[in-house]
Amino acid sequence: MSWRPALCAGLLGLACLPSTAQAWGPSAHRIAAEVMDAFLCTAARAEVEAMTGHMPLAELVVWPDRIRDTAAWSHTRDWHYMNVADDTPVRADTQPESGRILAAIRDNLALLPPGEAGPERRRQALAFVLHLVVDLHQPLHVGRAADRGGNSVRVRFAERETNLHRLWDSGLLYSTGLRPEEHANALRALAAAGGANWAQGSLEDWADESRRLRPWVYDFDARREVPIISRRYAETGRQLASLRLAQASVRSARLLNGVWCPDQ
């Protein structure tokens, strides 16, 4: 059986259904997973390969978005984000207005060591950890509750109307014109340059980086009913989105290395 029928007919014992919710686009998650591989220790890479089996990691990491609108997984909808006020730093004691992304990452990370859960649940946990760490680095996944992380902010980009959240999820990255493999190569170079420094810090630190990007995320002329995204804004956004994906790749590897090769 090929991996694709297995994914859609029985991935983790569930149906493969499209999700209507918005999240950092599938291409972004797949690219981040490819870049992460270069930063895994030997033991972590072997564990990931054993856990994923015949399923490409690039497919596993998009699974959490595909199933969160199903009845069995509807409880995970608020795992993908957190909302905090502009002037509320994300710290260990921060209580988000909504969203449980930090707790979800930690809860699933705790299931990865052998013996903590069965094989299927561990594979699910791996999917969630890798997916949610990337989500954490999309600035609007650490958003404002008032506009639902930019979902209710209409903007016009490339002659089409969209919303601010979707723009950051996929619009800016797609507008680079790079093929996925080209984008992955570019991010590998970026990740290699910043890797050692980026691997530092906590989940709260990484979330607060997203919060502190709001001055750039909302830097458009809001006086218009539907603001037009300028070339300047788009170029800034593309660079920031690429930076955040590269950071997410390095940090995902750091979390997995911490499970299987903590002394390295």
Per-residue pLDDT tens listing for the chain (264 residues): 333 333 333 344 333 333 333 457 888 999 999 999 999 999 999 999 999 988 889 899 999 999 999 999 999 999 999 999 999 999 999 999 999 999 999 999 999 999 999 999 999 999 999 999 999 999 999 999 999 999 999 999 999 999 999 999 999 999 998 888 899 999 999 999 988 899 999 999 999 999 999 999 999 998 999 999 999 999 999 999 999 999 999 999 999 999 999 987
Burial 61-88 (b: 16+ CB within 10 A, else e): bbbbbbbbeeeebeebebbbbbbbeeee
d(CA 241, CA 246): 9
d(CA 24, CA 141): 9
CA 48 to chain centroid, in Å, comes to 18
d(CA 133, CA 235): 24
The predicted pLDDT at position 62 comes to 96
Of 21, 258, 253, residue with least CA distance to 130? 253
d(CA 144, CA 219): 15
The predicted pLDDT at position 54 comes to 80
245-262 pLDDT tens trace: 999 999 999 999 999 999
Check if the beta carbon of residue 30 is closer than 8 Å to that of residue 180.
Answer: yes
φ, ψ for residue 243, nearest 5 deg: -60, -45
Prediction pTM value: 0.90
The predicted pLDDT at position 23 comes to 56
Give residue 250's identity as a one-letter amino acid code: V
d(CA 190, CA 195): 8
Q: Which domains does the chain have, with CATH numbers?
A: 3-7+23-260 (1.10.575.10)
d(CA 153, CA 219): 13
- What does the DSSP 8-state code read for residue 142? E
Check if the beta carbon of residue 29 is closer than 8 Å to that of residue 128.
Answer: no
d(CA 239, CA 184): 14
